[in-house]
Amino acid sequence: MSEEANNTEPKLIGLMAQFDDPDSLLAACEKVRKAGYTKTDAYTPFPLHGIDEALGIKPTILPWIVLTLGVMGGFAGLGLQYVTNADWYPFIISAKPVWSLPANIPVIFELVILHSAIAVFIGMLFLNKLPTFSNPLFRVPEFARATDDKFFLTIDVNDDKYKPNKTRELLDGLIGQTDVIEVFEDPSPAELPKIIKFVGIAATVVAVVPPILLWRAYYQTSTVPRINPIRDMDVQLRGDTQTISPVFADGRTMRPRIPGTVARGEWVDPIMLTGIVPEIGGEQNVIFLQEEDTPEEGADKPAEDEKPAEDKPAAEEAEGQQPMADDAPAEDKPAEEAPAAEEKPADGEAAAEPEEPEPNWVKIAPISVTKATLERGRQRYNIYCSVCHGLAGDGDGLVSQRALQLEQPTWIPPTNLHTDYLLTQPDGKLYNTITHGIRKMKGYGDQIPAEDRWAIVTYVRALQKTRTGTPEEIPAVEMKELEIKGQ
């Protein structure tokens, strides 16, 4: 054994008497205590009643520790709920008050129990100096039965009353003792082996690095997108616009409106939408719905764009007119007829007839004309129209100028907005042209809301007035300003 290696006598630290039954141990404890020994202890396989008095063990302070921690747990529960629910996050849920004691009792109660129970556990271990894995008693072979069926009484050599021979005699004289054993100090080195130290330090370092990295990442900004190991709802199955959907029979992800319906909040006066005064008793709802919807055609040709302007039956059925519109773009007359074919795109029967009567165009824009409307119209016109038609409406926009400069053969010069034909056109027809386009001009119905299209119509009227108006029509006040500016 190692004491031979150290070549030193192991130090005696105590004497131990062994007993076979608990009553002998109790009597022995009593006797030893009466003899004045205090640094004593008994070892039993189960808690022995009466040994506290026999050995003179004082009551433990554990209950006070538990009480303190339990009360602290209660206040922690109370404070946690008050600070967070009533102060930091005062959300009102189910009309419950942000702070109400009855609703907070369960959590307070549970935290009292939790804190107390942990205090019992930790407190008991702490007071018993556990865990202690190295104990000289474990080196005594007989002591293994202390947890089985034997009972032991020890006296420490540091006891004031300890005298080598006298104490030994006392133990030998105890009734029921079966053996007296000397307990020696543990001679093995108290220091931890180097390998354990090394592994411990390495493990600590390794354990600390990831939290530090996480902490750094948490508090720093970065130019690269964050790493998102769990995508949650960032990536999910959904139908994007302009994609094919496996769900619907027609393969469209973007759903056309159901015929004969109008979405909530999207109802617009048909006159406002089409610029046409519907016939009394006619299918006025159908007219404005069909202006944007083409359900039957859409179902037939799923992959194609659903814009009404491009899959109009009129384009195919009224073939005689379409080339005319393309061939004689600058002329006014075909221009009159082309929109006529487009006005009721889904109304196949009407569109098929070449001599379709002019619809009942609205004469004057169905919006109130104010300065704000005109200003809005000017702004929209400058954005959408002026590039071709020119800021003043002369058909000399920058795009047009450039196209002519490049001598583009397919270029059809934009219409001069100051021609007589346009001057006499009803507002509704002008509006219809903006909405659906004419000849090479595309329709702007999808880009410009109806209100703004009417605003553009009124602005175009104002532009025209700048050429046709007479000084008498100008109010006196405005005239004065103009005169001042003119000078």
Partner 1 sequence: MATVNEVIDTTIDDPGNRTPLVIGGHDYGSITRLVCGINESKTPIAWYIGMLMSLSLLGMLGGLVGYLIFTGVGVWGNNNPVYWGFPIVNFVFWVGIGHAGTLISAILFIFRQNWRTSINRFAEAMTIFAVVCAGLFPGIHIGRVWVFYWLFPLPSLQLAMWPQFRSPLLWDVFAVSTYATVSLIFWYTGMIPDLATLRDRTDNKILRIVYSVLSLGWTGSARAWSRYEKAYTLFAALAAPLVLSVHTIVSFDFAVSQLPGWHTTIFPPYFVAGAVFSGFGMVLTLMVPARQWFGLKDVVTLRHLENVCKILLATGSMVGYAYAMEFFIAWYGGNMYEGFAFINRAFGPYWWAYWIMVSCNVISPQLFWFKVCRTTPWLMFVISIFVNIGMWFERFVITVTSLARDFLPSSWGMFEPTWVDYGMLIGSFGLFFTLFLLFVRFGPIVAMAEVKSVMPHPHSPVHDDPQAAADHA
Angle, helices 450-468 vs 371-380, to 10°: value is 100
Based on CB atoms, which residue is closest to partner 1, 41 or 250?
41
Q: How far is the CB of 127 from partner 1 (least distance, A)?
A: 5
Asked whether 460 and 466 are in contact (CB, 8 A), the reply is: no
Q: How far is the CB of 111 from partner 1 (least distance, A)?
A: 7
Cα–Cα distance, 311 to 320 (Å, whole number): 17
Q: Which two tokens stand for residue 103?
A: 């609703």
Asked whether 359 and 276 are in contact (CB, 8 A), the reply is: yes
Cα–Cα distance, 254 to 116 (Å, whole number): 62
Asked whether the bond before 131 is cis by omega within 30 degrees of 0, the reply is yes
Q: Which two tokens stand for residue 84?
A: 């967070």
- E strand or H helix that includes residue 34: helix 22-34
Q: How far is the CB of 51 from partner 1 (least distance, A)?
A: 5
Q: Which of the 8 DSSP states describes residue 361?
A: B
Residues 6+ apart with CB under 8 A from 55: 29, 33, 40, 41, 42
Cα-flanking dihedrals φ and ψ of residue 429, to 5°? -70, -40
Closest residue by Cα to residue 141 from 1, 31, 32, 235:
1
Q: How far is the CB of 112 from partner 1 (least distance, A)?
A: 9
Based on CB atoms, which residue is closest to partner 1, 194 or 231?
231
Based on CB atoms, which residue is closest to partner 1, 143 or 381?
143
Which sign does the torsion angle of CA 315, 318, 320, 324 carry?
negative
Closest residue by Cα to residue 273 from 417, 415, 436:
436
Q: How far is the CB of 234 from partner 1 (least distance, A)?
A: 12
- Cβ-count burial 103-120 (b if 16+ within 10 Å, e if not): ebeeebeebbeebbeebb
Asked whether 430 and 366 are in contact (CB, 8 A), the reply is: no
Q: How far is the CB of 364 from partner 1 (least distance, A)?
A: 51
Q: How far is the CB of 10 from partner 1 (least distance, A)?
A: 20
Q: How far is the CB of 164 from partner 1 (least distance, A)?
A: 24
Cβ atoms < 10 Å from Cβ of 426: 19
Cα–Cα distance, 359 to 362 (Å, whole number): 9
Based on CB atoms, which residue is closest to partner 1, 131 or 357?
131
Based on CB atoms, which residue is closest to partner 1, 111 or 457?
111
Based on CB atoms, which residue is closest to partner 1, 81 or 458?
81
Based on CB atoms, which residue is closest to partner 1, 132 or 165?
132
Cα–Cα distance, 13 to 158 (Å, whole number): 8
Q: Which two tokens stand for residue 192?
A: 């931890």
Based on CB atoms, which residue is closest to partner 1, 43 or 162?
43
Q: How far is the CB of 54 from partner 1 (least distance, A)?
A: 9
- E strand or H helix that includes residue 13: strand 12-19
Based on CB atoms, which residue is closest to partner 1, 34 or 480?
34
Based on CB atoms, which residue is closest to partner 1, 110 or 446?
110
Q: How far is the CB of 157 from partner 1 (least distance, A)?
A: 17
